[in-house]
Each structure stands twice: as C-alpha cells, then as structure tokens.
Structure 1
C-alpha cells in the first residue's frame, strides 16, 4: 500500500496513508507500487487551482446565475401587477409561491443520486434546460392554475441543482479551498437578484400590447435554454479527466483529491451507505441550521422587492433599488468566505451571518420607515449580508465533515432542499393583510435568524468538545486535517475521526509558522510597563466616552430649560455594547490565525523526509518540538496549569455574570455623578478585592492592611460628600431631569437637596457595584491559577457569555417593564439616529475590549490586587481631562478624598510604609514584580 504525505500537515510531522491503487475508476492515474507520493510544491498546485478557477467556476456561476434568476423573477413580475393581470384573489399568490417547494424537496434526493450515478457534468445541463423551458413557458400563462403547474415543474427541475454543484466542486478542490470557491459560485445568486431588478427596471419601461412581465420571462428563459447546450458540451467529467489539463496536471489533480479533499475517489453509489448519514447526531444539527437558514434566505430572495417597495417608490424605482443590496451582499459573502478559508473557521462566520440577518430585520421592523428612509434602506443591505454567507459556509462545513461520497451527496440533497422548503413559511408570512409594514413576517424572519446563530454556535461547540474528548481518550491532539480521508470517511464511529468545526481546533493554542506557540501574555519584565500603560489609556478613554454618551441630548433639545431635555440614559444598552467590544477580541484572534495560515502556506508545501516510514521532526530544537507537535500527549504548562478548554470554558460564564451586574450598576451611578467622582468611588474596589482575597484565596492580611482598607472606605465617603454638599453648575446634565423636579420659591433649595440625594445614590450604586467587580477579579484569578488560556481568548469568551445573557435580560426587561432604562427599542432608536452616540458607542467597544485584555494580562502577570491599584490610578487622568473639558469644577474636599484613596491603596499594596510599621518585616507584593506571582 503506497503512502502519500499531505504537505498541509508537514508542520505537524504527519503521514497520511491512502490506497491510491485501490481506485477502480478506469481513468484514474495510478502511481507505481511501493513509492511514496509527495505533493508537488506550492507553485504547481496554485497553477492547477488557477486553471480550475478559470475553466470551471465561471461556467458554474453562470449556470447558477440562471437558476437564481428563473426562481426569483416572480417577485419582480408581481411589482408589474402580474397578480392582477392573471386575476389572483386572496392568498393565491402565496400559494403559488409555496407549491414550488413541494417538488423541490421531494425530487432533490433521487435526482441528486442520479447525479452521483451518471455524473453532475451531464445532469446539471439537463436540469438547466428544464428550468429554462419552464420559465419560458411562464410567459404564456393565462390564469392562476397554469402558473401553478409551471411552478411545480420549475421546482422539480431546480431541486438538486445546488447540491450537485457543491458535490461537483468537492471533486476539484481541497477542503481548505472550497469555501471561497463556493462563495464565488454562490455570489451569482446575489448578482442574479440584482440583475433581475435591473433587467426588470428596463423591461418594465417597454410599451407594448404584451404585458411587461411576460417579456421578463421570455428574455430570462431563452438565455437559460440556449446556455444549457453549451454547458452540456463544456463541463468535464471530473478533475483528473479534464481535457484542458496535461498528464502531469491530471496526476496532481487526482493526488489532491485522494489525499485531502472532501472526497474519497472511485466510490460507486450505495443506497445503504448513503442513508447511513442519518445515524450520525451532527446530521440533525446541520439540518436544524438549514431550517433556520431557509426562512430569511427565501424571504430576501422572494420578497425583497416588496420590502423595498415599503420605502415609497414606484414599481420601476423599487426594482432598481434592489440592485445595490444584492451587489453588496455578494461582496460581503466573498469577504466572509475568503476569511473563513484562510482562518479555517466555519461556524463563527455562520453565526455572524445569522446575526447580521437578525439585526437587519429587527431594525426594519422597529423603525418608522417613512421618517427614516436611510436607516431602513441600510437594514435592507444587512438582510442580504446575512443570508448568503451562512448558506455557503454551512454547505462547506458539512461537506468538510463527510468524506464518504454517498453520504455527502445525500446530506446535501436533503439539507439544501430543506432550506428551500422554508420558502413555504416565507411565502405565507408575508400576507397581503399585513402590507405594507409586514411586521409579523419581519419578526418571524428575525427569530429564525437568531435561532440559527445560536444553533451554529452550539453545534460548533459540540464538535470542539467532542474532538477534545477524543484527543483526551487517545492522549494526542488531532485536528481534522491530521486524519486520513479513509478514516474521515468512517465518520464519528472511527476513534481517530476528528470533526471539522473550523478545519482546525478553534479552542486551544494558535500556532506560528515555525510551530512555536503564539504567546499573547508577555510575562517578562520589559512587557509589564507596556501592559500597565495600555490598561490606563484604554480605561481612561472608556470612562470619558461613556460619560460623554450620557451627556447627549436625544429629545426636546431646543427647550430653554434643561429640565425638559431628555438625555441618553440606557445603562443596560451600554453594558451590551461593552460585551460587543469584548467579543471583538475574536476578530483579533481571527486576524492572527489568518496571518498564521498565510505565513505557513509556502512552508507547508515542503516534502517531508522519511525514516522507516515515519516522518521525522523538521527541527532539531527539542525545546520547541514538544510545543509544536500537537500529537504529543497533552500536558500542563510550565506553571502547572492545564488548558482551559471543552466544558471547562463554561466557568468563564461566572465572571461574565458578575461583570453584567457590576457594569450595569456603575452605568446607572454614572448618570448621577461626575466622571471623576465615579472613578474615585470605584476605588472601593480594593476593599472588596482585599476581603475576597482573604475569604476565597486564603490570604492573610496584617493589621496595617486592615487600616489601609479603612482609609480607602473613609476616602470614598469624603469623595461622595464632596459631590453631595458642593453644587457643581458645570456638572453634566445627563440626570438633570431627575434633579429639576420642583419649582417655586423654595425650588432652589429642593433642587439642591435633590441633587445631593442623587449624588449619594450614585455613589452608593457605584460602590456597591464593586462587590460584583471584585468577585469577577478574584474568580478570574482563581480560574487562571488552575487553567491556562491566553487573556485575549478569556476576554472573548466572557464577552460572548456576557452578550448572550445581557441580550436575553434586556429583551425580558423590555417586555416586562419597557420604560426608562429598560426601553430597549427607544435606546436602539436613539443610538442609530444620533451620530455622536453611534460614534461614541463604536469607540467604547474598542476601548473596553482593549482595557479588559490588558487588564487580564496584568492580572496574570501581577495579581488581582495590583490590577485594582493600577485601575485606581487612572482616576487622576480622568479628573484632569474632565476639568479641562469643563465638565466639572475643582473641589478641595474631593482632593482630600482622593488623597485618602491613593494613600490607602498604596499602603495596602506596600508601596509606602504604614505608620508604626516601618520597622516590622513583612512580605512584599510589589506592583510591578519581575516574575509572575504564584498563589498557593
């Protein structure tokens, strides 16, 4: 049995064995027995894929362009009053749309199996001829019944087209190449929708006795039929029998497919094997996601013209205005797909696409379209962004995970039609009685988008956890590309099978081009000052930007009295945007992965020397070999910690929940006090961190440290007193309406008393919030003592958990209370209609992501108490900037309180000597130690 090495796995020192000579296909090139096949270099393979890109992709894209054009032109025809011309009544239009999906689902599996048996190069052109003919005949219909019959045959003709194209592409491209090629092919659908609107714009201006919509069917159907004959002659049977390749290129094409593609070459159709796909649990996860995808996908495809028509344009401009969203949707699809291939990530981008769809439909459903045309039109763009990418990446995802051709073509032939079957839902939720707003339809589509995002994340997480379980059981770290195609073919029943949730493990370490682990925590002396400086900078920006946001007027801004002006008061929404900023860390991780993938591509195509049939390490550096080789048994790091992965990641949900409570309370408190008082009050953090360190981390505090904590508490009290008894006319007006509740001869005194009460309440809220923040810090430190994970990933996971919990809580509170701080709809409206609030939100997301990353790095490099000390020091910078901007006035009592805060925290952390203790020896916990502190 000859062996072949996959250079994509060269960095892992792996060898893949495949039975090249076992193929029974007559046209398959067979290498000599007893030889080891090395894949040619990067340049050779790049040249081959470029030939495929030029010869195969354009043809398939044009064919799918015709497919999408003939399926979706019915929406354009309706804008030209086709329904009235044919005498539709009631829900007959919706019924006519629904009938298309019945044969689409019924005939997709058998036609897909015929495509496997006789070859997609023959079946695809025949299908193209059939659906082109059905479209051409639609121009002659006279009533609803005849159009119903043609829609049935159109659904039958188009049923297995997309699944067969996916299968066809898997016989040409390797797993890591498939998504971006499939995206280029699928972009034809978006372009078809755009071109259909553009063509309809021109055709509908034809003045003739014949209805304009009939010309639309004639032109599009004729083009499809003519092109089908050319496609039948042009398409090659497979990669290694293509007439445009020479013998060496055919050999290379065959070797590529045999080694690393999603295909196992030479399999004959076997019905029993094909149905075996339904024995695997992940199959049903994929199918559920397909169901969730189908509703928004078909809603945009069929009803985008009706959605755009709500903007108030006539039938001609409506079709014209559908062009731009579809073109931009195609561009976003290509960007996400290319990024997915280069980063080898799948399910995060699928979830992102669903999320964009959800946001787009929610915005369109909740805003006043007539008064917010630009925002509404932008929402149409978001709808197209989020419907195309999940379809492409989902098909790529499960084709990467199913190597057996019979199973793969079956799953694709069931999954894709199932998504299209959801067109029955889409065509029946856009009811005439709901026009023109279609609120129930928009809300239903958004719900499917949100569900799809959650399901994609759950399935991806399941695969990651299952891979880790298998690795733990075998004592090695395998990824999907580490396992030969023959073993992948056997599916999860094979012990060495590895799911491909992202084509590489998404939870774990990132690997550089030389195999060394990318360490994001720089626990060296030179890096600590940088971490501290960046923590201070991002922390200052975050507080000032949040206060600036609170100052923005959103209603009655021209009122002469400040008490009638409404300001942006959405603390829950501000907490949500904080977690979005934290989730931005995944973007950084993706960029790092993209760079690693790009930098290692050339190195990955070097041949591997043999040593008695076993690959030898490429480097003699034993200090890096153990790190670089993921097949080495998993072991703790140098500090005795074990990787934080699998179900253990759920531990990070606890500090995320603490962060939700603490941040929301502080955001409410910030509405009532100046930025400097807010930051000074946060100095109480050191009190709770110290107490919790004693209770949970089992540390011992000397008497002088208890004295220091008392000084901190006294300092916080003085700061709050300064804000309460000193009236500040320059104080920001974010809570002015709460203060200005009384008028008359005693109004001034009551107003001052109200302001003092609000300040005290704000100080108490901020101080109380430090209980949750201190809990977060201590829990993080406790987790990081036992588990190893890069801080940027910790921030990303906490951001994800925090975002999900906050979003859920915000929705519940909106429907339960729905006023004041909990009016989520009003808050989103204010954020999208105020440029200052929108820009500050974006900057807050960036600054909070950086602050948490650098803060966690400092926690791991120093300690939780030292992190709180450094955080307190940024108060001085915030105070100086606030005074410079005129947001508040200078108060000597506030200076005294701040001095007590600084003195107490410095004594607590041994930066200065406490009174009467200068001669007592004690153990220091320096602010910037030379080595990471270990807690025992």
Structure 2
C-alpha cells in the first residue's frame, strides 16, 4: 500500500474498503495545490478559489480577534504605564506590594486557563469570547477607582481570571477554520497585537496622563478607566462580529461553506462532530509533548511579560523622564510587531517552526547581553538592547503558541493542550514579576540575567521538541506503510494520525 510523508501535512494513502462496512477512510491527504492557483467546483457548479476564500476568512476573522487581544494585553500591561503616573505613590505601595499586584494577576490567569477552554468547547465562541471580554473590561475599569492595596490586589486577581480564556480559546478557534499549515501565520498575526498593545499603551498613557485632576482623579486612574470602558464597548459589539464555526458562518455562502468544510476535512479534524469528553482532556494531560509545548512557552513567558510590564520602568531608569519613557516604549514594540508577522510568514513558507524560534531567541539574548554590559553613561546603547530583546521575544512566542494547534489532533485534546500551554507558560511570568526590584536599578542585573537564562533554556527545550517530533515522524512513516489508521479523533489521537510540524 503506497504512502508518503509531506512536511507539515498528512500522509497520502489509498482508500481501503473495510469488511465490517465502515466508511472508506483515507490515512492522510495529499497537500493542497498552491493557493495562487487552487480552485474547486462545488455541487451547484460555482467555481471557488481557495485563495479568495482564505482572503475572505482572514478579513472576517483576524481583525476582530486581533482587536480583542490588543485590548486584553493593554488592560493587563497598562499597570506599568500607570506606575509611572503615580499609581504606587498615591496608594502608598511598598516595592513588595506593587510586585505582588503583578504576580497575583498571573495566579488568577493560570488557575482558570484550562476551565475556560473547557467552557468554550461546551458552549460557543460567539457567546464565550465576548462574555469573558465584558467581564475583564468591567474589572479593568474598576482598577481605576481602587483606593488601597487590598482592593487593587483583588481586582488584579480577577482581571487575570477573566482574561484567561481569550488567548487559548482563540488559538483553538483558529484551528477550526484553517488548515494546519496555515495556522502559524494567523496565530502569530493575532499575537502581534501584544506588541502592538505595548506601542499603543505608551502613546495612550502619555495622552491620558494629561487628564490628571479631572473628577479629582490622577492620570493613572484615567488610564484604567478609559481603557477598561473601551474594552466593554468593544465586547458588546463583539457579540455581533464573532462567528462560531464554518458550518454556520453567515458571511459565507452555502457553496463557500461546503468548500471550507471540504478543505478542512482533507487536512484535519475540524469538521468532525466531537462532543466534549473528559477522556480527551486526560489524554492531553498524559501526553509528554503537550507538557513540552507548555515548557517552550514557559521559557519565553518570563522575558515576554517582564519586558511588557517593566519596559517603561527600565527606560526611565536609564535617565529619561516619565513622559519620555512612555513614548520611547513605542519603537521596541513597533519593531517587534513587524518582525512577529515577517518571521511567521517565513516559518510558514519554510514549513519549519523550531529553527525560527531558536533564531529569534538568539536575537533576544543579544538584547539582554547589551542591557547587561552597556556602559552606564551610554543610555542609548542600553535602549538598543531593549529593541533587540523585543525583536526576538515576540516572534519566538508567536510561533511557539501556534505549535499545539499545528500538531495536536482531537478537538477536546487540542483545546486542553492550548490551555495547558498557557497555564504552564504563565508560571514563568509569576516568577518574572518578582525580579525587577527597585533596589537593582538602573542595571536590573537580576531581571535581565534571568530573562537571558530563560531564553537559553528555551533554545534547549525547542531542540528537545524538535528531536522528539522528528523521531515520532520517522516512527509513523514506518507504521503507516503497513497499517490503516482509524480517523476517529476520539479513539485515535495525534500519536497515530498526524505528521508533526517541526
């Protein structure tokens, strides 16, 4: 029985008639023709271009989802901008108390990550994603009227809890619309909103800070209030522009829905009717690869979140004013946004993940070496280090976060794996929030040193994943030559069905 491996795709095999009258099954499909020329005729005779369909999906799905994540990242990281505008001083935070407000966010985030994605699988994206957004928008707004440490601490915990379902939920959601070879670019584009939020955050904070004194509130209060209200407004609108899955998408015609369903059926399990099942959750928990994906993000989340939370503080410690630091936080994020998209495109075209993650981590390590070694009388050199750090961290993270969506088969298992990755990863952020202590400024040796060390660990973890997936692919090549695989996502997971993208 002939079979072949296609990098980043599935194994092609002849359809085999089973004597027990099961439907004919394909072991794995051949890769789709190039998007620039691919087209297909649907039952009513209408010819549909795959490139046109992809463009339509991108325009309808990605901008709204990216907006949601931009606001999510803005609401979690604007505390760094608020600190420069007097948050800690007005509330009489000690250094330890301020860092605790950063840490508690990630504790709430980690605890509710997996449960949130389970709720998404049991409900619908159109209901769940906007609902979580309304909840975190309300909490984000209330941060602006907190009067003491205890109130602020509780609000930060619930901000983490309510935001926990967005990112892993969207990664799973995109895997239900796109082929496996198409998800990395889309997830990275979605994730680029994180760096975009950093750029917007600095600009918005600079402008909103001038509202100090209005209604008796300081500028930092207005940062939380206005950005939180914006989130709530967009959340209510999101009930109208977030769609569920291709089968019911109103923006597609019936022939287009059939076409999308057909191309997904040939590539992954997105079209299967798979009810939620606890055994599938357990399969994800028992799969070492799911833990490795989580560890890959863990080793990036510490530098990612320390940079996003402390970048204005790091820049200010170089000798700049608060206003200058707010504006100077924009260029590193702008560079990171562009590179996140470009590196993802290169990764898609090369059909490789690990080399691009490793290369990006090396760029970030160079940035931290600059920050650790630059002369104290040359703040401009240290500032260049922040640009290198951002330029490496964000592209690497975007690809890592798409990896489970590429490689985990079975809808419930994949939803669980996505949530596990974020939960395990954000434990690194919990540690990172305690590293940039005022007593270590202006060089922040402890924080920068930990970030560089974690990035080195990331390279080792990614090399391990690369080796594991390559070995699994070789094993499956041998087994698929002589066996027919049951396509059921419930009974057969990625260990026997999928060629992993490395």
* Mapped partners of 1:15, 1:152: distance in 2: 51
* Mapped partners of 1:242, 1:273: distance in 2: 27
* Mapped partners of 1:123, 1:12: distance in 2: 32
Alignment partner, residue 408 of structure 2? 402
For 1:320, which of 314, 320, 327 is the aligned residue?
Answer: 327
Alignment partner, residue 141 of structure 2? 136
Displacement of 1:488? 11
Residues 129-528 of structure 1: pairs in structure 2 closer than 5 A: 129-208=134-213, 209-261=216-268, 263=270, 265-371=272-378, 373-472=379-478, 486=488, 490-491=492-493, 493-494=495-496, 497-501=498-502
Following TM superposition, the consecutive aligned residue runs of length 4 or more in structure 1 with deviations greater than 4 angstroms are 15-19, 36-41, 472-476, 482-489
Displacement of 1:76? 0.3
Judged with a 3 Å threshold, the aligned counterparts in structure 2 of structure 1 residues 54 and 271 are, in CA distance, closer, same or farther, namely: same
Displacement of 1:145? 0.9
The two structures, once aligned, show a CA RMSD in angstroms of 3.0
Is the partner of 1:429 in helix, strand or coil?
Answer: coil
The reply on whether 1:82 has 2:87 as its aligned counterpart is yes
* Mapped partners of 2:319, 2:309: distance in 1: 19
The reply on whether 1:42 has 2:38 as its aligned counterpart is yes
Residues 738-887 of structure 1: pairs in structure 2 closer than 5 A: none
* Mapped partners of 2:138, 2:102: distance in 1: 18
* Mapped partners of 1:376, 1:368: distance in 2: 8
Displacement of 1:283? 2.0
* Mapped partners of 1:412, 1:331: distance in 2: 25
Alignment partner, residue 58 of structure 2? 53
* Mapped partners of 2:370, 2:325: distance in 1: 20
Judged with a 3 Å threshold, the aligned counterparts in structure 2 of structure 1 residues 240 and 39 are, in CA distance, closer, same or farther, namely: farther
* Mapped partners of 2:380, 2:109: distance in 1: 37
With the length of structure 2 as denominator, give the TM-score of the two structures.
0.88
* Mapped partners of 1:388, 1:259: distance in 2: 32
Judged with a 3 Å threshold, the aligned counterparts in structure 2 of structure 1 residues 51 and 483 are, in CA distance, closer, same or farther, namely: farther
Is the partner of 2:101 in helix, strand or coil?
Answer: helix
Judged with a 3 Å threshold, the aligned counterparts in structure 2 of structure 1 residues 120 and 12 are, in CA distance, closer, same or farther, namely: closer
Displacement of 1:367? 1.6
* Mapped partners of 1:286, 1:39: distance in 2: 27
* Mapped partners of 2:163, 2:10: distance in 1: 43
Are the equivalent residues in 1 in contact too, given 2:101–2:152 (CA < 8 A)?
yes
Q: What are the Cα deviations for residues 860-895 of structure 1, in whole angstroms up to 9, with x where unaligned?
A: xxxxxxxxxxxxxxxxxxxxxxxxxxxxxxxxxxxx
Displacement of 1:438? 0.9
Is the partner of 1:422 in helix, strand or coil?
Answer: helix
* Mapped partners of 1:487, 1:86: distance in 2: 53
* Mapped partners of 2:99, 2:477: distance in 1: 51
Greater relative contact order, per chain length (Cα 8 Å cut-off, separation 6+): 2
Displacement of 1:88? 0.7
Are the equivalent residues in 2 in contact too, given 1:259–1:484 (CA < 8 A)?
no
* Mapped partners of 1:16, 1:182: distance in 2: 33
Judged with a 3 Å threshold, the aligned counterparts in structure 2 of structure 1 residues 325 and 493 are, in CA distance, closer, same or farther, namely: closer
Is the partner of 1:142 in helix, strand or coil?
Answer: coil
Alignment partner, residue 925 of structure 1? none
* Mapped partners of 2:426, 2:91: distance in 1: 26
Displacement of 1:470? 4.0
Displacement of 1:349? 1.1
Displacement of 1:132? 0.7
Alignment partner, residue 122 of structure 2? 117
Are the equivalent residues in 1 in contact too, given 2:407–2:498 (CA < 8 A)?
no
Displacement of 1:486? 4.7
Judged with a 3 Å threshold, the aligned counterparts in structure 2 of structure 1 residues 489 and 384 are, in CA distance, closer, same or farther, namely: farther
Aligned length: 476
With the length of structure 1 as denominator, give the TM-score of the two structures.
0.48
* Mapped partners of 1:307, 1:460: distance in 2: 34
Q: What are the Cα deviations for residues 355-387 of structure 1, in whole angstroms up to 9, with x where unaligned?
A: 22222112201221422x332122111111222
Displacement of 1:490? 2.3
Are the equivalent residues in 1 in contact too, given 2:295–2:425 (CA < 8 A)?
no
* Mapped partners of 1:445, 1:423: distance in 2: 11
Displacement of 1:246? 0.7
* Mapped partners of 2:16, 2:166: distance in 1: 31
Judged with a 3 Å threshold, the aligned counterparts in structure 2 of structure 1 residues 485 and 472 are, in CA distance, closer, same or farther, namely: closer
* Mapped partners of 1:92, 1:296: distance in 2: 21
Are the equivalent residues in 1 in contact too, given 2:188–2:402 (CA < 8 A)?
no
Is the partner of 1:313 in helix, strand or coil?
Answer: coil
Is the partner of 1:205 in helix, strand or coil?
Answer: helix
Displacement of 1:492? 5.6
